[in-house]
Chain A
Amino acid sequence: DTGVSQNPRHKITKRGQNVTFRCDPISEHNRLYWYRQTLGQGPEFLTYFQNEAQLEKSRLLSDRFSAERPKGSFSTLEIQRTEQGDSAMYLCASSLARGTGVEQYFGPGTRLTVT
Chain B
Amino acid sequence: GNSVTQMEGPVTLSEEAFLTINCTYTATGYPSLFWYVQYPGEGLQLLLKATKADDKGSNKGFEATYRKETTSFHLEKGSVQVSDSAVYFCALSSSGGAQKLVFGQGTRLTINP
A residues apposed to B, CB below 8 Å: 4, 31, 33, 35, 40-45, 48, 55-56, 91, 93, 95, 100-109
Contacts and interface: CB of A to CB of B under 8 A. Distances in A.
Contact of B44 (A55, A56, A102, A106): A106
Contact of A100 (B89, B99, B105): B99
B14 interface: no
B99 A102 contact: yes
Interface string B1-25: 0001010000000000000000000
B54 to A, nearest CB: 14
Identify whether the interface residues of B are mostly helix, strand, loop, or mixed. strand
A91 B93 CA distance: 17
B89 A108 contact: no
Nearest to A56: B98
A107 B43 contact: yes
A44 B2 CA distance: 12
Given A100-B32, A103-B49, A109-B43, A44 B97 contact: no
Contact of B97 (A56, A91, A103, A106): A56
Contacts, number: 65
Contacts of A107: 43
A43 B45 contact: no
B103 A100 contact: no
B80 to A, nearest CB: 22
Given A45-B98, A45-B102, A102-B93, 6 more contacts: A44-B103, A45-B101, A56-B98, A93-B101, A100-B99, A104-B101
